[in-house]
Structure 1
Amino acid sequence: MALAPSFMKAVITTEDHNIKVQELSNLSVSQISVPSIESERQILIHSAGINPTDWKHAKHLSPEGTISGCDLAGVVEDSGRSKEVKVGDRLAAFVHGGNYKNYGAFAEYALVEPDTSIRLPEYMSFDQGATLGIPLGTAAFALYHKLKLPEPGVVIPRSFPVLIWSGSSAVGQYAIQLAKLSGLSVVTTASFQHHERLRSLGADSVFDYHDPHVSEKIKEATHNDLAYALDCVSSEESLKSVTDAFGEKGGKVAVLLSPEGKDIRKDAEVVPVLVYTCLGKEFTFAGKKYPASADDRQFYERWVKMANGLLEEKKIVTLPTEDRGGLEGVASAFKDMEEGKNKGVKYVIHP
């Protein structure tokens, strides 16, 4: 086994969070110590995926010196004390990038936890694997743990509708597929150019969110029976549109951010989703402390086993990708993502 070098290149955040990401001033490619093995797996990263949370962390939240990036795919270089994997195994995982000095995906090496890593099937590339972590994990966490919807393989008496708002988003594309695998009637929204792809992923009905009457049309299409939704935008406007589409008995909506929801229906329950809790560690996010959640961690460990099976059986289609080069390409990718230029695709880099 080749030993990892003592130092590696990584994208780290610097002190001044008032400087915009696109100016390159709060990101730098630096040489830092390679993280050491404890009970975790050391991964040589082949591909890393870029999420909206990455540029938002770098611009607003990340402490100085933390490694940026969450989603990664690569090869096990050292399995630590783990008996479940061996050197050379191909894995995909996510870490809480932008929050620690020893965990981050935009680097040559990373540490991932023993039970939260997906095994890449032989047919799947590292780029495809780098699209899984945060988006797929968030979709599963929201649908199955937060909304308590039936998991794939569970027999349900009758199908019922679920709304995925912003189906062309990374989380949305995976959520559509999972909801369909669960036997649900999938309703989603997107710009017109994405409708055909979303239908191919399993959406039964697709609506243009630009339509001022979209909520009424969704309510009509779901026969005034919609009671579950995942809002992948999670703005005040999207939350109101989602809850306005609920049936006469109201419903429950999972949100990825924390809109206040001042103008929504009283019979709508808003459930926040933050996938980092699935790692089972205490952390601080946006000034709020989150305790370690054994319950969320247990769910995610179980989900990883389920995901391994679904991926092996080719039941999940990964996201389209766009190559943004090496670590030096992160800053320009952040700029484009902040400007909304990544519609329907996931940016990947190759450390």
Structure 2
Amino acid sequence: MKEAIVGPDLAVEVVDCPRPKPSRGDLLIKVACAGCNPKDWKAPHYTGKKANPGDDIAGEVAECGEDVVGFSVGDRVAAFHQMGTPGGAFAEYAIAPATTTFHLLIKVSFEEGATIPLACLTAAIALYHNLRLPPPWQKCSKKTPLLIYGGSTATGAFAIKLARQSHVSPLIVIAGKSTPFVESLLDASQGDVAIDYRQGQDAVVKAIERHFAHIGAGPAHYAFDAISEQGSFHTLGRVLHPNGHITLVLPEGDYASIPASLTTSLTYVGIAHGSTPDISTLEGIRHVADGDGEAFAVVFCRLFSWGLQAGWLSAHPWKCAPNGLHGLSTALNAIKSGQTSATKYIINPDVSSK
């Protein structure tokens, strides 16, 4: 089969390699589409190691490993590949645990499906595993303001969709040039609002405070920072309740400036595969949520299928990179340079043409 290997300079080599075999509990998936994430350029770039870093898969089940339940050959699925392991998404065939795989309806395209796994699981872990907000089957029974920084990212947008299904409101969402896209996801009747960070930090803080005063709510006790850099957490730290909780996504950040009274946690999507984040070197991160991340992922992957069926969950806007696997370098460089606001790059592994 063909597989794309990404180098530290984001150059991509398409190589021939054996088709992987699924281990116990895993699925071999014939890849129709693979989604690109920021970590896909960061991993080879910062480690200096060549790899197939893709983790978002959509396609058909080609083979089931031992003890797989609920999936059969030919099923249309989307899946989250285990980060840092062989069998990544940027290939004609990829491996994913059945625990982080979910069924796709016929009406959901593979392109749409490939936008969902990693980003939506990250959002779910942030809201429900870390912040402990009521899940979609429980619903909020009272006003519960939630701050989301980075609402136009795939992770931020899925957090909005999940929070609305949980009746968490009002949602105060900070975005940039894609603010109109974010506004399309919000419910103004519930007090939701999008605020443009390009006004500057002081203006954003004042806008949030004015909005809370206007709707008679706040301050918020909960914040999800889907950016976690360039001052995003400084802004959130200024408007959160002194005893609030902020959860962040970057494992290499220096969060020491976040007020000490706040609970700070790292949202790490790897817990879906049983990994535990190491926060010992992260200045300012003071909390790791307990619980079984693998069981959490099983439940939420089933929920994603139902959400797509019910219509409250939908794909993130996407753009297909040209030239199949050979176009991966273009996509990763576009993500690195910030050209993908409110859009997720999708790779089709067809390498028949360059």
What's the TM-score, normalizing by structure 1? 0.87
Q: Which residue of 2 aligns with 1:214?
A: 204
Residue correspondences, number: 327
Tell me if structure 1 keeps the 8 A contact 2:178–2:341: no
Aligned counterparts, 1:23-172, within 5 A: 24=11, 27-39=12-24, 40-61=26-47, 63-64=49-50, 66-81=51-66, 82-97=68-83, 99-100=84-85, 102-172=86-156
Distance 1:281 1:233, change over 3 A: closer
Distance 1:62 1:306, change over 3 A: farther
Tell me if structure 1 keeps the 8 A contact 2:53–2:89: yes
Distance 1:77 1:294 in 2: 32
Q: Among residues 244, 247, 257, which one is paired with 2:250 in the alignment?
A: 257
Distance 2:277 2:172 in 1: 34
What's the TM-score, normalizing by structure 2? 0.86
Give RMSD over aligned pairs: 2.3
Counterpart amino acid of residue 314 in structure 1: G
Q: Which residue of 1 aligns with 2:328?
A: 330
Moved more, 314-323 or 193-202: 193-202
Residue-by-residue CA offset, 1:173-221 (whole Å, 9 max, x unaligned): 1111111111111110112x42332222125111011123102321332
Residue 224 of structure 1 deviates from its aligned partner by 3.8
DSSP-derived class of the 1:265 partner: coil
Tell me if structure 2 keeps the 8 A contact 1:165–1:231: yes
Is residue 190 of structure 1 aligned with residue 175 of structure 2? yes
DSSP-derived class of the 2:23 partner: coil
Residue 250 of structure 1 deviates from its aligned partner by 3.3
Residue 236 of structure 1 deviates from its aligned partner by 5.5
Residue-by-residue CA offset, 1:84-120 (whole Å, 9 max, x unaligned): 11111001011134x23x2200000011112210111
Is residue 276 of structure 1 aligned with residue 270 of structure 2? yes
Q: Among residues 179, 193, 196, which one is paired with 1:205 in the alignment?
A: 193
Distance 2:48 2:30 in 1: 24
Tell me if structure 1 keeps the 8 A contact 2:58–2:110: yes
Counterpart amino acid of residue 322 in structure 1: K
State the identity %: 29
Distance 2:254 2:327 in 1: 35
Q: Which residue of 2 aligns with 1:225?
A: 219
DSSP-derived class of the 1:202 partner: coil
Counterpart amino acid of residue 119 in structure 2: P
Q: Which residue of 2 aligns with 1:304?
A: 301
